Chain A
């Protein structure tokens, strides 16, 4: 069955530290891959996406993600976290039909001063 797994429910990092949020998927083919961020009480904002090509993708707000086909992973990274990055982060995947998008359960990021 198709699934998206974000193994970490909650992560706490200190401001200025590096960040990596994990995402694994189980699909029959390589899907389109996305990372979204949601601030409390808000809708979702797209950080970055991977469709094909270079497996290291740059996004907004200094985020990047790397697609690793062999590991079925699409981990999100940021070299230096800012307090404003505290939010919930969702990995999402979709096949060629972008309507049928499946989301992971989310990772809540807390940033310590």
Chain B
């Protein structure tokens, strides 16, 4: 049981490039979320999903896309990276009791 895994751990992009952050969980949780963490701002919700085929926007969705084709996977796409998207990104899945299980994070730098 690996829990929530994220790849890559680190990534450097140039402005305007696109990329996908991968997230997978093996706990069969329906609910999954993406957050970004910036100094002094805690975690902010980007997008979330309540099950395969269903996604919704969180607090800061602009510049990001998500899809949920399977229960296990919830990738986050940056369409055209900007320096303001430099951050640490966390994926989480939520069990039926409401507890969130966080991945180890992806540290993204956009130059």
Interface of A toward B, CB cutoff 8 Å: 4, 6, 9, 32, 34, 42-46, 49, 51, 90, 92, 94, 98-106
Contacts and interface: CB of A to CB of B under 8 A. Distances in A.
Interface of B: 31, 33, 35, 40-45, 48-50, 56, 58-59, 90, 92, 94, 98-100, 102-105
A88 B105 CA distance: 16
Nearest to A2: B59
Nearest to B42: A103
Contacts of A105: 40-42
Given A99-B33, A99-B48, A32 B43 contact: no
Contacts of B56: 99
B105 A32 contact: no
B50 A99 contact: yes
A56 to B, nearest CB: 19
B45 A102 contact: yes
